[in-house]
Structure formats: C-alpha cells, structure tokens
Amino acid sequence: MSSGQTPWIKICGVTCEDDALLVVAAGADAIGLNFVESSKRRVDVEVARRVADRVRGEIELVGVVVDRSAEELGELSRAIGLDWLQLHGSESPEFVAALPRAFKAVGVERAEDVARAASYPGERLLVDTKSQGVSGGTGQIFDWSLVDELCRARRVIVAGGLTPENVADAMRRLRPFGVDVAGGVERQGEPRRKDAERVRAFVTRARAASLP
C-alpha cells in the first residue's frame, strides 16, 4: 500500500443483519459471511441472503469457504450475490485462477508458507495465522516480518489475531492493501456478535495508521 492510501477493511464472521448494519456505519469496506461447517461463525444460505440483501450496494460481500467445487461456489455466489470468495482450503493455484473474483487465504508460520502464498494468482491474497485443523479465526498473530516483501509485491490482506489494540501496529509495520478481523471485534463471550465500539475503533485506528 502506498503512503496515504486508504486500507481495505473487512469485518469477518458477520451473522446477522444488525451487525452488518453496524459494520457499514463504522465505515468498513467488506463483511465476511462464513460458510465453513466447523466455524462457530457459520451462517446458512438463507441467513446469509438476508444479511446480504440488507447491506447490498453499501459494502462488499465476501463468502468464506473451504474446499468446495467450482460448481458449488458458483451456486453459492449466485444465491447470495457475493462479490468475492475467500478460499481457506486446499485449493490449488490453478483452481483459484479459474474462478472469477476469488482470492486465496494462506496460513503463515515460516518462510515456506510465504512462498506458497506467493504462488497463488489473483488480484488479492490473504495471509493468516497458521493453525493445524483450523481455517482462520484463531485469534493469534503470526510473525509479520515474514510477509514484509510479499506486502510490497502484492495486494495482501493481513489477518490473524488483529484487534483495535494492534491493528495500527500492523498497518505501520506492513502497509498492506487490507486488514481482516473477526474475533478481535466480537462481544466478550459471544463469538457470533460484534461489539459496535470495537468495530468502530478497529476501522478508525486502521485508517489513521495509514496516513503519512
């Protein structure tokens, strides 16, 4: 991200219309609708469609998925009217390249993971904390120094343990294209609901840290 450029901010794991509206009001750029079966933030198609219809045209709609076929992804996108697909499974670079408006999420723990992330095509690329058997949402940060070069070369979205308390550090350290948060802006003890104050603080601090 060049100096002064506004970061792309996504609030992930939105599960209801009220939270989608508060994310829009806070000035974020995207909401994430999670369709991963094992996630505590999972929504079904009917709920996702209601949420999407409430804020459509005001914010980007991102579907978070794991290891679905191209046919299934097309059906899901059409059913809800998604703007992007965020792929957290074992999808290959070739699979990602064949999909319209999709980007890969890659867990990062060491340099080999960064090299793997860089092998994926697409306009965007998400890096997250690597955790065995978990597709994001770990609440843990990774070693940001590993993705310094990648953030300079690609439109990288940084996720993994971000909060209102550390997002400014991430922005100043990496100058990424975007940042993504789920657990860091949730209500205490309620993983399916967002805390309006924390969402506003996250967006405000991320934007402020991007200024020269």
Catalytically active residues, by annotation: 12, 128
What type of residue sits at position 13?
G
As a whole number of Å, the CA-based R_g of the chain is 16
Q: What distances in angstroms separate CA 65 from CA 87, 108, 161, 163, one per listed residue?
A: 5, 18, 19, 23
Beta bridge partners of 42: 34
DSSP string, 17-63: HHHHHHHHHHT-SEEEEE--TT-TTB--HHHHHHHHHHHBTTBEEEE
What distance separates the 2 farthest-apart alpha carbons in the chain?
44
d(CA 64, CA 87): 6
Tell me, what DSSP letter sits at residue 121?
-
DSSP β-bridge partners for residue 206? none
